[in-house]
Each structure stands twice: as structure tokens, then as C-alpha cells.
Structure 1
Amino acid sequence: MHPDIVSALADAGITRTFAIQELTLPLALAGNDLIGQARTGTGKTLGFGVPLLTRVTPPSEGADGVPQALVVVPTRELCVQVARDLGTAGATRGIRVQAIYGGRAFEPQIESLRNGVEVVVGTPGRLLDLAQRGDLILGKVRVLVLDEADEMLDLGFLPDIERVLAMVPEKRQTMLFSATMPGPIVTLSRSFMTQPTHIRAHGNDEGSTVPQTTQFIYRAHNLDKPELLSRVLQARDRGLVMVFCRTKRTAQKVADELVDRGFAAAAVHGDLGQGAREQALRAFRSGKVDVLVATDVAARGIDVTGVSHVVNYQCPEDEKTYVHRIGRTGRAGSTGVAVTLVDWDDIPRWQLINKALGLGFDDPPETYSTSPWVYTDLDVPEGAKGRLPRSQRTREGLEAETLEDLGETGKRNRPAGRGDARGPAERRDTGGEESTGGGKSRPRRRTRRSGGTDAAGDAAEGAAPPATDASAEGGSAKPRRRRRRRGGAGRGGSGAEATGSPDAASTGADTAS
């Protein structure tokens, strides 16, 4: 290893290698292609990061600012984290690392690339956008890394990865890293690697859970889960907690309910803007919020110091997701607790997960918030209820964390309604229902003109504008009023309901005239 990298890691408190690092460093430093596989939380980022940073030429040695290494990751949160870790390790050498991901403005990322970077960490979509615009040059990339490779190759990113591979030189070093690496993914990956070495840091149990994590599986009713979760969060000596849900809607609902119960909670899911997602993660890392409710977007690679408990509020989809979820605790040799709440409908799914991982929890006990073993298993005080006592509400909460303006792209702005472009007085005037000539009631589809003309006159405007002077009486006609030409009825006119036929329209025109 380069001595400057050793020094930078020592400053960060990292002085010894984990198994995956010890096995991969000699091969990776020699420039070989490899597939690295190890339990989550055992240092895979530095397993590829240290060789990558060692092979990169810093600006002080004549680098021209064109990216020399590319790390591709599946999620934005993981992108930020990997870029931060590599920046820390390469700080002493002066290596510039840039995170490139979607959901925020292009301009700052483009400016950073123009100023020069040596390592780019990015998500596939934004990488391709910038590369096709000509702002990201990939022709000098010597090292390519796919982090959480199984996730990207398995979930539809393969076409994007193939397009990225077409932009980087054929003569390069390629490394794949993940905690789980199914056989088909390994077979697929070999098609764009050169004689890769597959390294398993823990023998044949690489897909299993970390031994330092104590697991509890409860069969819980969906209506009782909020009460049960509230008691889990009051366990003695607990640190930060991550709660995982399968759907975005559930994640937001659980976070809101926990806040209502007095807990400092925040949500991270795909329906939030990138600024809100980063705000929640910053508040969680800094301790302003101690409960993070997330979908599986945060289950991949996110490393937050001090996570003592993970709660699977909803049963994960498969054993791979389960491994990554509970891997947020028990990291880097620490201990942790994982609690999984399995609904009755999810018992078959859980049994498949249990069998695949050999966990030994075939029949989870039926558990409620009042079950005595909840208190003994998790060391919850006997008097704990469904709300956090006010004396324990010491966290500042999500509002204490600044929400950055990232110049976000792709915001889901709700389109203005048909009446939203009008003034307040007009919106008030069209808020109710009108009575038609036939005694029926229908929603208003036009505004009343200040000139006081009747409904038949409005219909006439659409039927034969040149033949009438109704528009002169009531001001200029708006295009949207023309839609009343077939359905209008004369109020104060003939009293007969318009039928929508041409004859009826002409009758209305004559009446208005």
C-alpha cells in the first residue's frame, strides 16, 4: 500500500485489515480482475478502494484531471457514502473524488468534472447522462468497480452497465464486490472480465448473517405492530435504530406515527426528493434523529456508526434482502440486535428465507405488544407503553437538520388544475354547482362574467362569435368557455334545456342575439 494511504487511514482510526481486505489487496494491487464476496459490514469498500487509490496518479504527480477510476453503485445514498470513504483514504495523496448521482442539479457536478477529478463514484443513469453530453470522459479509466454488483446486474441496470463498459477502455482492471453473489450473476459478470478470481472471505457461508447480530423473529399482527415497535424502541442502552419496510407508503406512515408517539424519527424512500433523503440521513448520522424508517433503498451498503438495532417492520422479499437489511447493525466487529415482525400472510415467505439461510426460526412465536418475552428478550423496562415518556424526548428531531437546496431534477410537481391559473375571485365563483334549465345539477365548467350575461350567451359565444355582441358586453371570452356550446342551458332564456344538437345551439345563439 502507498504510505500516504496508510497514514490517512490511520488518522481515521483504521489500522488493521478485515478478512476480505487481506485476501483481495495482493491480487488487486497487482492489477488482476476479481470478484470479492464477504459478509456485509466487513470492509469491502476499502477492499477495492485501497488498490484503486494506490493505482491512481494524483495531481502532484502530473495527473491531467481526467477520471482514472470509476466506481458504479446502485443507489444515491451508497454513492455519497463510498465517495466520502474514498475521499478520506485518498486525502493525504491529494486524490480528488467526485460523487455523480441523480436527483440534484447537473451544474455543480459538471463544474467539478471540468476542474479535474481522479476518481468518479456514480449511479448508472447520471453517469450515462454526463458521458453522452461529453462532460464525463471515460476514455482513460484504468480501474472499474461495480459495488453491490448483484443488485445492479439483477435489477435492470445491465443495459446501462453495458453502455458504460462500451465507453471505458478494454484494457482495464475490473472488480465486482457484494455480500451476496448468486451463480447466474457470477456467470454473467465473467463475460466482461478477464480471468477473474472469485474470493470468498468466509468460505461457503458468505451469504449468511453476521454472528455478532442477535436475531429475534416474532409473528405479529399488522394492527399491533406500531405498539410492538414502540416497545422495541424503548429497550435499555439502545443506540440508533433502522426500521425497514417493503413499501414507500408504509415507510412514511410508520415514520409519521413514531413522531406522533414522541420518537425522533425520519423516513428515507423513493417518493422523497433527494434533498429530503440526504437531510434525513445527515440527521440520523449526527444523532438529531435516532430512528430511521426506510425502504430497501437504504439496505445496500449504508454504514452508520452506532446502529444497535434493526427492525424488519415488514418481512423482506427474500434471503438476500434479509442479509443486507440486518447487516446495518453488527458492523466492523460490533454487536447488534435484529428484530423481524412477520405477519400471518408472510409466514410462507419467511419460511423460505429461514430455510435458505438455515436460521432455525421455522415457527415464529405469536407475539403482541403485551407479550412478556418482548420485555425480557429485548431488555425493555416493564412499564414501557406505546408512547415515549416526555422525560426521554431529548433528541432535536428532523427539523433541526438543514434542508439543502440541491437544485433537484425530476421533481414531481403537481400540474396546475384547470382553474388554478385564474384569480382568487374567479376560483371562488366556480367552486359550487349550478342549476341547469332542466332542473339538473352539474359541476360548473365556466366562470361568470362581470357583465352579467346569461348561460345561453356563453353557449352562443362558442356557436357563432361573429354574429353576436355578447363578448362585447362581458369582456373578452376565454378559450375554455367554448366547451359549453353543447351542454349549456339558458338561465333566464327560453327555459328549455339545450340538447347538444346543432339546432339547439343555433336557438341559443338567436336567444342571445
Structure 2
Amino acid sequence: MVARIIGRGGSKIKELEESSGCRIKILKDQSSGDMVVINLTGGDISEAKRLIEDVTSSAGRQRERFGQQQTNGFSSEPNGSNWDEPSPCWDDQDSGSSNFKNSDRQGRSPMESLGSTEKITIGSSFVARVIGRGGAKIRELQDKSGCRIQILKEESDGNESVISISGQDTSIEEAKRLIMQIVEPSERYGTKQANGFISETTSNDWNESASGWEDRNQGSNDFKKPDQPWRPPMDSSGSSEKIRIDASFVARVIGRGGAKIRELQDKSGCRIQILKEESDEQESVISISGSNIEEAKRLIMEIVEPFDAQKNMQNLNIADNAESDHFEVIDWTGIAKQSEEMTRLKWASLPALKKDFYFEEQEVAEANPADVAAFRKENFDIKVKHHNENDPRPIPNPVLTFQQAFRKFPEILDEIKKQGFMTPSPIQCQSWPILLQGNDMIGIAQTGTGKTLAFLLPALIHIEHQTVPRTERVGPTALVLAPTRELAQQIEKEAKKYNYRGIQSICVYGGGNRREQSASIRKGVEIVIATPGRLNDLISAGIVDVSGVSYLVLDEADRMLDMGFEPQIRKILLDIRPDRQTVMTSATWPPGVRQLAEIYMKDPLHVVVGSFDLAAVHSVTQIIEIVEEEEKISMLWDFLGSMGTDDKCIVFVAKKIRADDIASDLGIKGIECQCIHGNREQSDREEALEQLKDGTVRILIATDVASRGIDIKDITHIFNLDFPNNMEEYVHRVGRTGRAGRSGVAISLVTRQDWSKAAALIKILEEAGQEVPDELVDMSSRFSAAQARRNEERGREFGDRPRRGRGRGGRRDDFGGFGGGGFSGGGFGGRRERW
């Protein structure tokens, strides 16, 4: 009882004190094993005693314990009677305080005092429902009925369980009624069956009593297990039918842990069984027994044929030997046309969009084609083409200055001037004319090339100059999707630098304060920058309405697909008007990104800065070291010890636990650093990046969560302790340094486990004009040779000759001389000066 008064963490006793105004204290020194003394001081002591009585006494019995007349069919007993549970008594000592004694007296409760007991039998599968979680349900049944209810394990078996109910006769009936409500549905279905199924009728041999109960030896305390179990009334109709369904639907009918089939039985009042012995791989037979078989069949039909239950119920084959060989031909063309028409009607009421805001300067329009081609070639070999080869639209010439792009928007020029920019970047030069004309665009460029500003400034103009005033629009006008929190925050930071006519932006991402994000959106924003997961959550909750979005950006689309966000992206795009303007940026051009562009973009133009192929930033010196796995950590310590006072470094590792371990080791050595990975709280990640930016720490240990979207301009070194799983991540790791016109150094440790990536790495190094170690070339050659041998062996018949060893042994042979002196791995030697 004391535990009930105190509550979890003291919550209940605090509630009692607040409600009564009394100070309530458990006097442990005055309490004993069979009595607990509670001291009440101040406030309304009578109210405090009443509240404690409510806690210590079960519902419907507390006043009976104090000698008050009950209306539930039990006669009341004074405090002097014997009880199984402690009976509270009060000892008022003075007007200012009162001691409450809770004595444990042995005896029997009033629910047992009449000596009447009955036993019932139920299916063992229902026992858990009767008991409830932690015994909660059986206690509730005892409180409501006034009976003592026990599960007699010694008289039960695997199929049937015996329940003993003790109390007054009327209370026993009430207890049985309550148990009936748990194990059987409260409603009875008595509708007459229809002939929609070919039925197999059998007689009922369950021999149940009309009431569904079997009472035994009332008033007796010596019982045997009943010969006939208590069966639910749903089984009393005396008939059953069998139906056949496709075997693939059986799992749906049964449900997880049998939950669905129990639900079907509860709703229909029928017993439903899967007859395994009569089923095969193609069809399963279901037996339905009871008085409302038609309802059970209808419910099963809703599961196996969800779209046209009435039509399919007539087509469902129930007969044991009947089979159907009719297959309906689906008119996919008609369905597609219908879908297009429904989509058109859905968006027909929206106001028209204004997309073209470009005023081409005469000097840009009349530029010599040879000069345009030379400009593009000299500026990272810009390439522009139509996604659709038959697109007749002319490709606009690039602009050379900010004034040529935004002369009609002087406020934009003022904001650019505040940022101190002198000339636009190559991708901005070509992107702004395309986007200001209202075209869809795919921008392929490496990190740090100005892609963010390339789509942000046209977005501001697009938002402000729509025909519908901003105050009358529903939801945001521009939406930017980013793969990581860090990249989303970086875009938001960039957007807030340009204050154009009060346009507001917000960044929403998982791990941030959802309530604050929701409140900001409800106040009204024009630009939402989001990660796909959190945005989906807010759309589903009705907090964000994206139906009014007319300017969409998919930033780092390749990374979003790599992270598995494609389903979320597709779901979001279903709610955005199809005539929107769409911008997609990516560092690479994999098949998944191409497919996304084909489906969700309308005749986009490609702007490629550099190459479609992977390429690292040319301002970064890339150093490759071929090492053994066990040498990595010592090489990391040597490198960190050689860092200059102005150097900043990001150390990339493969696993979160490795990042934590290295950060801990550095802390033990007295070297300040920060750590960032997916398991860290968002606030910790933001603090880590902020400390790296302001110089509080100069070393960041990170997983690939930091490989994109981190724009810290003074990072001098990247150290790839663990080589990335794919070359796209390598390019983005390297791209964290050498930003904003600065130079940088990227050091990568490559082991024999990374030999499959050697050829792609060599290609990137050669494209950037970097030194290619001879060991890396040798590694690539050996991998190609090993791959050729494996392919040859796979194509050889087993009977020709024994195949080479597979598994570890086979791979070890493939490496040949790698295990010995083939790797330099002997420390830095004279190479440290190159860093």
C-alpha cells in the first residue's frame, strides 16, 4: 500500500499534498512489518485522509471497509472484520495532525465471505487477455464484480484453462459476464446466410449449454476440472462452411501473432480456422463455424480483395474442387489516361505561375559565339545541353557580371555587394540566365563552386513576383530539399544573408526542436529548407502545405538517393503542383538521378561545370599512402603532431565507434578536438562545427555525415584514415578543403582491402594532375588480373580441373606479393614535408 501512496518517483504523494494542502510523511521509525504510520500536518486533514483512503482501497470497496452501506450487492463490514489486504484506520491525535495506520490483518475479504465458488473453462489463448498486462485486467474484473478471480494452473492444460470465481451468486454472474466481454464480442450476429458461397455444412458436436457457461458445484470448495469447457456462444449455431483463398493471402488473414484472425472472430462471432491438411501451395482452405458465417466471409473478402469486395465475393471460389482459369486483361493505357486526367483536375483550380523574369542585356544577346565558347572552355569547361535532344529552345548565353543578370533587380545587386563578391562563379554565370527564364535545370558541379547562390537568388525573384500576393498564398512558395542537417543549415545560413523584401526562410530537419519548427512555419515563411524525413513528417501532420510550392530545389540529389531518401522524395513531389520550376544539383550523374530527372522535370537544361565524370577539386593536393591496417593510427598521430599552428584538419573514419575512440584518445593525450557522427545529438553536432569554425578546436573527427554541406573555408587538411566505400564520397571528402580560392591537402591511407577502388582513384588523380604512386598502379593491375582469373574460373566447367581456392585463401592468392614488401607502409620517411 505504501508504494501506491508514494507513487513512481514520489509523484502520487506530491499530488495528494497539492490536493489537500497537507504535508504527508511516512513515519518509518514508527512503522512495523504489519503497520505503516502516516503523519498528516496542516491543510485539510480530512480531505487528505479521504484521498489516502481512495488510494489504498480498491474502487467500489473503500467505503465498505469503513462500515458504510454499499449498493453493489455486498454487505458492508466494520473495521473490525478480517481482511486479506491491509485495512486503514485513523488515529486522530490532535487538531493539527493525524496519524494514519495501515495494519495488515489476516483473514478473508467480504468478496469471499459468502463461500460460494464456481469454475468456468475458457480457451488457453484467452488467458492473457483476462489477466492483462501486469495483472491489470484481472484486478479490474475483481474490482467491478466484487469476486475473487483465479486462474487454476494445476487444473488447466495447453488447450483449456480453468478459472475459479468466488463471491456472492449475483457477483459471480457479473464476473462471468465481464469475462465473456473479453473473450467474446459483445454483439451477436444473427443474419440469415446468403448463397454467395458453395458451402460444406457440418453438424455441431460441441455440446454446449444454452447459456455458454457450465456451472459446477456451487458453494463447494472441492472441484474437479469440468468435463466440457466453456465455449463462446458464437459456436452454438451448429453449422460450418469452408472457403478457399489464394495461399499468398493466408498471412494477411492470420496477422502478426494471430491478431487479425482473432479480430475477425470477434467481429463476426464465428470460429475461423486455417485447415493446413486440406491446403496446398496454391490454395488454402479456411473453415468458418458459427451463426454469422456470411459476415465472416465478407470480412475475409475485405482482406484478400480490398478494392471491389462485392464483385470479387461472387468470383471467389469456395468449392473444394473448383478452379478458375480466367484472367482479366488490364487496360494500362486507360488507367494512365485516367490518372493524368485526375491529376489535371486536381491542380486545375490553382492560379497560373509566372516564371520568366529575365531581361537579357544586349551585349549578352549579341555576344560572338566563338567568344561564348572560349569563355565556357576557360571557366572549367562549362557544358550546356538540352536534356531532350529535340528541344528547339535556344540555350542562353552566360552572363559575365552580376549587373548583366540582375540589372532589373537593384535590391538583389545591393545584397550581393554587401557580401563583397566581385564576379560570379562559372556555374552562376550560366545558371542565372536559364533559371531566370523559368526553365528547369540540372546543375552538375563539384562542391565549393557556388551552386547554392546559383539557385537561391532566382528563387527570391520568383517568390516576390508571382501574381498572387505573398500574404494570400497557402504554405511556402520555394522548397529546398537537402540530404543532411548540416547541408540544410548551411543553405539556410546562406539564404539569410540576402534580405530581399522581407522574404523569410526556415530550416527543418530531424533532431531539431519539432515544436519550434512547427510554430515558425505556422507564422508564415516563403522558403522551407528541409531534409526529406522531417518534411514528410510535417506534411503528414498537416503542419506544412506544399501544394503552393512553385520553385523546387533538390540539392545534392545523388547524395539523397545514396542515403535512401527516394521514397520520401517521391511522396513529397506528389503533393507539389506539376507545373512548378524544378532545379536539381548534383556532384555526379548516376542512373538514379537521371531517372528522377526524367520523371519529375520538364525538358531541363544540363549545366556541367568540369565533367560528368567524378573529379576532385583541382586546388587540393592529393597524397596517397599505401599502408597496412595496423600502421594507420601511428601515422595519424605523426600527422597530427606535424600540424602547424594555423592548420585545421578533418579526420574521416568509417565507423561511429572509431570516431569516438580516436576523439577519446586525443583527449587523453591533451589534444583538443571535436567529434561528429550520426549518433550525436544535433546540438552537439552544431557545437562541434561552430568550435571548428571559430578556432576553439583545430581537429574534427568525422564520419561521412560531414563529407557534404560543411562550408568551413579555412580547412587546410583532410586526413582519410579509412578510405571511403565509394569514389563519390572520396570526392566530397576532398572537397571540404581548398574552398573559396584557397589551396588544401588531402591525405588518404589505402590498404589492401581498398584495392577494388584503385583504378577509379587513379583516374581521379590523373584528371586533377596529381602524382600517382607506383604502388597504387601495381594494386590496380593486380586487382584487374585477379578479377579476370575469377571470371575465367566462374566460366569453366567443374569437370575441367579443380577450381582455385575460394574464401580467404583464394583472395590471399589473388594478392600475390601484396602481403610482403609490396607496400611501402614504413612510416612517413621524407614525405612529411609534402604536407
* Equivalent residue number for residue 486 of structure 2: 77
Q: Trace 1:187-198 onto structure 2 (pairs within 5 A).
A: 187-198=595-606
Distance in structure 1 (CA, Å) of the matches to 2:532 and 2:753:
36
Equivalent in the alignment of 1:273: 681
Identify the residue that residue 426 of structure 1 maps to in structure 2. Answer: none
**Partner AA of 2:728 in structure 1:** K
Contact persistence 1:238–1:309 (CA under 8 A): no
Shift, 1:333, TM fit: 1.9
Q: Which residue of 2 aligns with 1:449?
A: none
2:561 to 153, 156, 161: 153
Does structure 2 retain, via aligned residues, the 8 Å contact 1:266–1:292?
A: yes
Does residue 335 (structure 1) correspond to residue 743 (structure 2)? The answer is yes
State whether residues 221 and 368 of structure 1, in contact with CA within 8 Å, keep that contact through their aligned partners in structure 2: yes
Q: Indicate yes or no: 2:781 matched with 1:372.
A: no
Identity %: 37
Q: State the Cα distance separating 1:271 from its structure 2 match.
A: 1.4
SS in 1 for 2:660: helix
SS in 2 for 1:316: coil
The one-letter code matched in structure 2 to 1:374 is: R
Aligned partners of 2:720 and 2:749 also within 8 Å:
yes
Distance across 2 between alignment mates of 1:367 and 1:58: 62
Distance change (3 Å), C-alpha of 1:130 and 1:27:
same
| 1:257 match: secondary structure | helix
1:256 corresponds to 2:713: no
2:332 match: none
Q: Conserved in 2, the CA contact under 8 Å of 1:7 and 1:92? A: no
The residue that corresponds to 1:462 in the other structure is none
Matched-pair contact (CA < 8 Å) for 1:218–1:366: no
Q: What are the residue-to-residue correspondences of 1:77-476 with 2, within 5 Å? A: 77-89=486-498, 91-202=499-610, 204=611, 207-233=614-640, 234-236=642-644, 238-355=646-763, 358=766, 360-361=772-773, 363-364=775-776, 366=823, 370-378=827-835
| Offset, 1:366 | 4.3
The runs of 4+ residues in structure 1 deviating greater than 6 Å are: none
Higher relative contact order (CA 8 A, sep 6+): 1
- Equivalent residues of 1:87, 1:95 under 8 A apart: no
Q: Deviations over 1:386-434 (max 9, x none)?
A: xxxxxxxxxxxxxxxxxxxxxxxxxxxxxxxxxxxxxxxxxxxxxxxxx
Partners of 2:716 and 2:555 lie apart in 1 by 25
Q: State the alpha-carbon separation in 1 of the partners of residues 692 and 411 from structure 2.
A: 31
In the alignment, which of 426, 429, 450 is matched to residue 22 of structure 1? 429
Partner SS state of residue 529, structure 2: strand
Change (3 A) 1:367 1:373: farther
1:29 Cα offset (Å)? 1.0
In 2, the alpha carbon distance for the partners of 1:258 and 1:179 equals 33
Name 2:780's counterpart in structure 1. Answer: none
> Paired residue for 2:216?
none
Query: Deviations for 1:256-300, whole angstroms, at most 9, x for unmatched residues?
Result: 222223322111101111121111111111211111111111111
Name the CA distance, whole Å, in 1 between partners of 2:760 and 2:445: 22
Given that 1:315 and 1:350 are in contact with CA atoms closer than 8 Å, whether structure 2 keeps it comes out as: no
Q: Deviations over 1:423-461 (max 9, x none)?
A: xxxxxxxxxxxxxxxxxxxxxxxxxxxxxxxxxxxxxxx
- Going from structure 1 to structure 2, the CA distance change for 1:273 and 1:184 (only over 3 Å counts) comes to closer
Q: Is the 8 A contact 1:215 1:338 kept in 2?
A: yes
- Any conservation in 2 of the 1:308–1:330 contact (CA below 8 Å)? yes
Q: AA paired with 2:510?
A: G
AA aligned to 1:125 is: G
Q: Distance in 2 between matches of 1:100 and 1:37?
A: 25
* TM-superposed deviation, 1:371: 2.7
What is the one-letter code of the residue matched to 2:478?
A
Give the counterpart letter for 1:82 in structure 2: I
Task: Name whichever of 142-151 and 220-229 sits farther off.
Answer: 220-229
Q: CA deviation at 1:115?
A: 1.1
Between structure 1 and structure 2, the one with the greater Rg is 2
Q: Which amino acid aligns with 1:211?
A: H
8 Å contact from structure 1 (residues 58, 94) kept in 2 = no
Q: Do the aligned partners of 1:57 and 1:118 also contact (CA within 8 Å) in 2?
A: no
Contact 2:504 2:525 in 1 (8 A): yes
SS in 1 for 2:614: coil
Distance 2:507 2:441 in 1: 24
Aligned to 2:169: none
SS at match of 1:305: coil
Q: 1:166 is matched by which residue type in structure 2? A: L
TM-score (norm 1): 0.69
Report the CA distance between 1:95 and its aligned residue. 1.5
- 1:187, CA displacement in angstroms? 3.3
> Is the contact between residue 616 and residue 764 of structure 2 (CA under 8 Å) also seen in structure 1?
no
Provide Cα deviations, 1:315-361, integer angstroms capped at 9, x if missing partner.
Answer: 11111111011000111221110000112322333344334664634
Is residue 547–residue 575 contact of structure 2 (8 Å, CA) maintained in 1?
Answer: yes
Task: Tell whether the 8 Å contact from 2:444 to 2:612 is kept in structure 1 after alignment.
Answer: no
Change in Cα spacing, 1:232 to 1:168, as seen in structure 2 (3 Å) is same
Q: Compute the displacement of 1:254 (Å).
A: 1.8
The aligned residue for residue 6 of structure 1 is 413
In structure 2, C-alpha distance between the alignment counterparts of 1:267 and 1:369, rounded to whole Å: 29
Please report how far the alpha carbon of residue 6 of structure 1 lies from its aligned counterpart in structure 2 after TM superposition: 2.5
Structure 2 equivalent of residue 482 of structure 1: none
C-alpha separation in 2, matches of 1:352 and 1:212: 19
Tell whether 2:463 aligns with 1:56. yes
Contact 1:56/1:118 (<8 A) preserved = yes
The answer to whether the Cα contact below 8 Å between 1:37 and 1:206 also exists between their aligned partners in 2 is: no
AA of the residue aligned to 2:834 = D
Comparing 361-370 with 27-36, which one deviates more in the overlay? 361-370
How many angstroms does 1:85 deviate by? 0.6
CA contact (8 A) 1:354 1:362 kept: no
State the match for 1:496 in structure 2.
none
Q: How far off is 1:237 after superposition?
A: 5.9
Q: Tell me, in whole angstroms, the C-alpha distance in 1 between the residues paired with 2:666 and 2:825.
A: 18
Contact 1:37 1:179 in 2 (8 A): yes
- Measured after TM superposition, the shift of residue 370 of structure 1 is 4.2
What SS does the corresponding residue of 2:603 show, helix, strand or coil? Answer: coil
Question: Any stretches of 5+ residues in structure 1 without a counterpart?
Answer: 379-513
Give, in whole Å, the separation in 1 of the partners of 2:592 and 2:542. Answer: 34
> Take 2:760 and 2:444, find their aligned partners in 1: how far apart are those partners?
23
Whether the 8 Å CA contact 1:227–1:369 is kept in 2: the answer is: no
Q: 2 CA distance for matches of 1:36 and 1:107?
A: 34
- Could you report, residue by residue, the CA deviation over 1:95-141 in whole angstroms, capped at 9, with x for unpaired residues? 21100101122110011011111100000111011111111111111
* Structure 2 gap ranges (5+): 1-405, 777-821
Shift of 1:75: 0.5
Aligned equivalents of 1:239 and 1:93: distance in 2?
A: 40
Deviation of the 1:38 alpha carbon: 1.1
Task: Give the 3-state SS of the residue equivalent to 1:363 in structure 2.
Answer: helix
Rounded Cα–Cα distance in structure 2 between residues aligned with 1:369 and 1:115: 62
Look up the SS of the partner of 2:696 in the other structure.
coil
TM-score, normalised to structure 2's length? 0.43
SS of residue matched to 2:830: helix
Q: Measure how far apart 1:57 and its partner are.
A: 1.9
Letter in 1 for 2:412: I
| Alpha carbons of structure 1 residues 58 and 222: separation in structure 2 relative to 1, 3 Å | farther
Question: Is the contact made by 1:39 and 1:206 (CA closer than 8 Å) also made in structure 2?
Answer: no
Instruction: After superposition, give the CA deviation of every residue in 1:17-71 in whole Å (9 maximum; x if it has no partner).
Output: 1111111110011110010011221111111111112211299x94227311000
Question: What is the CA–CA distance in structure 2 between the aligned matches of 1:355 and 1:363, rounded to whole Å?
Answer: 15
Check the 8 A contact 1:329/1:336 in 2, yes or no.
yes
